[in-house]
Amino acid sequence: MTGIASIDLFITVFNYLILIFAVLVMSSYIILAIISSVSLKEYLRENRFVNYNALLSLESAPRVSLIAPAYNEGKTIEENVKSLLAINYNNFDVIVVNDGSKDDSIPVLIKAFDLVKSSREYHPQISTKEVKNIYTSTNSAFSKLIVVDKMNGGKADALNVGMNVSKNPYLVCIDVDCIMDKDVLLKLAKPYLEQSDKRVIATGGVVRIANSCVIRSGKLVEVKAPDNFLARVQVIEYLRAFILGRMAWSKLDGLLIISGAFGMFDREIAMKSGGYDTNTVGEDMELIVRMRRYMIDHKQPYAVQYIPDPLCWTEAPESYKILGKQRSRWMRGTIETLWTHRKMMFNPKYKTLGLLSYPYWLFFEYYAPLIEFTGLVITIILAALGIISWTFFFLFILLVYSFAVLFSMIALYSEEATFKRYETLADLRKLVAVAFLEPIIFHPFTVYAALKGNWEKISGNKGWGDMTRTGFDKRPQ
Amino acid sequence: MIALSPQYQFNYYQLETVIYWAIIVIFGIALFFLGLTLSKKLRRIKELKCRQALQKRIDSLLFEMLFTDIPVEEVVNSPEFQKNLQSVLFQRVTIKAIIGLHHNYSGNYSKKLEQFYAESGLASYSLKKLNSSQWPHVVEGIRDLSSLNYQKAYPRIVSLQNHKSTFVQTEVLLGMIKLKGIAEILKFRNKSLYLNDWVQSNILFSVKKHRISAPDDLSDLLESKNNSIVLLAIRLMNYYKKAEHYDALLVFYQQTKNLQLKKEIALVLEKTEYIN
C-alpha cells in the first residue's frame, strides 16, 4: 500500500469490488449451468419417445407463417425458398419479404416460382415502409409461397410487413440463409399444443454453427467442427450460451431473448405489443421483452418455451472484421433494449424478469465488458506502480482463465451427454484445443467489440454494418 | 480522510494463497470433465460399432426368417440366438428391428414377426420394463408391446392407467387403442382425463398408422361431458369420413355452445354438403 489513506482506501475498495464481481459472475454461471443440466436431462427424458410426425395427423395443427426477410440474396434465394417450402409440416405458408434489394432477387423469384402480382391488398396493422407488390404463384406446387416486395426499411420493418401480411395465428421469423431442421415447425409447435392453463406466446430454440458442416440440398448431412479458428471458438461459445445458459433462464421463466435467426411467436400478442421495433438493432430481444411485459401488464397468464434441440444452423463470421461488427451490434441491441425497458429493473411486478433476468443482463452482459476492461487497466497501472504485486495480478488472471476453461469443458461434456452432434474424436480434439485458447485470443476481442458497441451507441451509429457471408450450397445434388 | 483499519485492508499474501488453491481446484475439475467427455465419447464410438455389427447380424437373421421357410422356433432355439439373447443391447436392437419391419410389412410377415417377438423371450423383456420404477422404461415397454400387438400384455398395460406419470398414462391409452382398437376410447367417455392437442395428435397418428377401423358407436363420444374427448371424437369422425357421423355432428353442432367444438365441427362439415 501507498501509506496515503485516501489512495489506500480506493485501492482496497476497488480490489474488493473486482473480486466480488468476479466471484458473482463465476457463481452465476455455475448456478445457471446446474439448473440447465437438470432441466436438460428432464427435457431429454420427456422427449425421448416423442414422435413429432404425429403432429402431421392433426388437420387443425397450429397454422404458421414462416417470415423470411431477404436483402440482396439473389444468388441463393431460389434454393433458400425451396428449402423452406420443403419443411415437414401441414399448415404453413412462407412469406418472403424482399426488403428493397438492389439485386435481381424479385426477377429470380418470379421466374423460379411462377409468381404473378396478387390482387391481395396490403392493410398494415403495424405501420411499415411502402409495400410495392405482393406476389403469389400460379403453380399449385408453390401455393404456400407469398412474396412481398417492399421499400428498404431494415430487418425489423421487413418482419413487420410479414406480420401484417400473414393471416395465420403463429409466426416463425427466420433468417433466410439459415439451415433449418426439417422438423423445425413440428418441434416449435408442440408446446402450443401441450399448454392449456397458460398461453404460449413464443418458442425459441438453439442455434448452432454450420461452418465446415456438410450441407446438401439445403439439408445438414454431417456435423463437423469448423476448420476456421474463429468459427470453431464460436461453437464453444454457442454451446455455453445455449446449453448452459438459456435452458436455465427458460426453467426460471426469465428468458429475455429468442434468437433472431428463428423463433415462433403468437401473432396476436406480437401485433398487440406493437411488432418489431425498427429503431433498434436488437429487435429480436426487444420484441420478446415487450411481449412478456404486455402479458404481465395485462395480467394474462403466459409462457415462453425454449427447445434445446439443435434446430437451426447458421454461418458464423470467420473474420475478425465481420465478427467485430456483429458483436458491437449485439451490444448496441442490448443497450437499447435495456434502456427501453429500464422500468423493469428490480420491479417486483415483473417477477423473475424484473428481479433476476434484467439485473443479470445489465450487470453481467452489459456492464461486464466495461468492468473487465476498467479493472484490467487499473490493476495493470497499480501493479506497474508497485502498489499491488504482479504475482497477485497474474494469479488473478490465471484464476479467470481457469474458470473460462472449466466452463467450456462443462459445455463440451453437456453436449456429449445430450445431443452428441460432434461425432468424431478429431472434432472433440479441435474443440478442446480452442477451449484452452478462447480466453486468451477470442474473449479479449469480444470485450473490445462490446466497448466498440458502447462507443457506437454514444456516437449515434445505428447501422447493421456489412455482414458478408460465404453462404451454403442449397442446390439439389 | 477515512483510513481503513488493518483488518479490512487487502491482504494480498493470504488472498494469493486462496487464489492459488482455487486455480488448482478449478483446473482439476476442468480436467475431470475433459476426462469424462473423452471416456463418454470413446464408449459411444465403441457402442456404435458394436451396435452396427449387431444390427447387420439381426437384420440377416430376421430377413432369413421372414423370406425363407425357416420356422420361428428354429431361429429362436438356435444356440447362437440363445447366446446373444443374454445381452441387453442385443435385445434392444432386435426389438427395434422387429418394430421397424413390422411397420413396413403386413399380412403373414407381420404375424411371423409378432410370433417371433412373443416366442423369443423378447416380449418378456418388454414386460419386465413395465415394472420399472423409471417411467421412461415403462413407456418404452408399453410402446414395444403394443406396437408388436402382444395381446397378452393388455391387462397389465390397463393396470397402469393410473400411473403417477402422465407420460405413462398417455402411453397406456395409446397402447390400449393399438391393441384393442379405437373403441377403447369409449371407456374414457365419462372420465375427466384431459387429452390435450398433442395427445390427440398421437392418438390420430396411431389410428392412421395401424389402420384401426371405426367402432360403430363412435357418435356416443359426443355425449361425453369431457370436452377434450368430444374434440377427439370430432377429429376421429373427420378421419373416418362416414355419413352417419356427419348427421350426428350436425345435430351436435346445433346443440353445443362451445365455440372451439363448433369451429372444429365446421372444419369437418365444410368439406361436405352439410354446411356451405
B114 touches chain A (CB under 8 A): no
| Binary contact (B3, A413; C-beta < 8 A) | no
**Cα A47 → chain centroid:** 23
B8 touches chain A (CB under 8 A): yes
B89 touches chain A (CB under 8 A): no
| Binary contact (B143, A193; C-beta < 8 A) | no
Looking at domain A63-177, its CATH superfamily turns out to be: Spore Coat Polysaccharide Biosynthesis Protein SpsA; Chain A (3.90.550.10)
DSSP state letters, A52-82: GGGGGG-TTPPPEEEEEEESS-TTTHHHHHH
Question: pLDDT tens, A299-325?
Answer: 999 999 999 998 899 989 999 999 999
| Binary contact (A54, B205; C-beta < 8 A) | yes
What are the distances in angstroms from CA A407 to CA A25, A41, A250, A400, B266? 12, 18, 20, 11, 55
Q: Give strand pairing partners of A70.
A: A98
The number of residues making up chain A comes to 477
Contacts of B168 (CB under 8 A, 6+ apart): B135, B138, B139, B142, B160
Question: pLDDT tens, B134-145?
Answer: 999 999 999 999
Of A12, A55, A402, the CB nearest to B10: A12
Q: What average pLDDT does range B80-96 have in this prediction?
A: 90
| Binary contact (B205, A51; C-beta < 8 A) | yes
Q: Give strand pairing partners of A306.
A: A204
Question: pLDDT tens, B162-208?
Answer: 899 989 998 999 999 999 998 888 888 888 788 889 999 999 998 98
Residues of B in contact with A425 (CB under 8 A): 41-42, 45
Closest CA to B158 of B147, B169, B149, B143: B169
Tell me which DSSP letter residue A173 carries.
E
Contact A83, A474 (CB under 8 A): yes
The number of residues making up chain B comes to 276
pLDDT of residue B1 exceeding 50, the answer is no
What are the distances in angstroms from CA A209 to CA A233, A290, A323, A425? 10, 28, 14, 18
Greatest alpha-carbon pair distance for chain A in Å reads 85
The B residues from 25 to 64 touching A (CB cutoff 8 Å) are: 26-27, 29-31, 33-34, 36-38, 40-42, 44-45
Greatest alpha-carbon pair distance for chain B in Å reads 101
Q: Residue B262: helix, strand or coil by DSSP?
A: helix
Q: Determine phi and psi for A369, rounding to 5 degrees.
A: -65, -35
Of A9, A19, A406, the CB nearest to B4: A9
pLDDT on residue B92: 93
**Torsion sign over Cα B226, B228, B233, B234:** positive
CA distance A13 to B10: 9
Distance from CA of A36 to the nearest CA of B (A): 16
DSSP element (H, E) containing A306: strand A302-314
**Please, what is the angle between helix A5-47 and helix A390-417, to 10°?**
10
What are the distances in angstroms from CA B207 to CA A473, B111, B121, B174, B215? 40, 19, 28, 9, 12
* Cell triple for A244: 448452459
- Which of the two residues, B104 and A354, has the higher pLDDT score? A354
Of A9, A46, A425, the CB nearest to B167: A46
CA distance A387 to B77: 83
Contact A443, A404 (CB under 8 A): yes
Beta strand A199-209 with A262-266 is antiparallel
pLDDT of residue B11 exceeding 80, the answer is no
pLDDT on residue B275: 57
- Which of the two residues, B142 and B241, has the higher pLDDT score? B142
pLDDT on residue B213: 87
Mean pLDDT taken over chain A: 91
Closest CA to B61 of B23, B14, B139, B113: B113
Of A6, A398, A410, the CB nearest to B1: A6
Buried b (16+ CB within 10 A) or exposed e, A328-356: bbbbbbbbbbbebbeebeeeeebeebbbb
Interface probe, candidates B31, B41, B96, B194, chain A, greatest A C-beta count within 10 A = B41
What are the distances in angstroms from CA B137 to CA A41, B144, B178? 15, 10, 19
List chain A residues with pLDDT less than 50: none
Beta strand A131-137 with A214-216 is unpaired
**The complex's ipTM?**
0.90
Boundaries of every domain in chain A: 7-49+195-477, 63-177
| Binary contact (B16, A5; C-beta < 8 A) | no
In this prediction, residue B84 has a pLDDT band, given cuts at 50, 70 and 90, of: confident
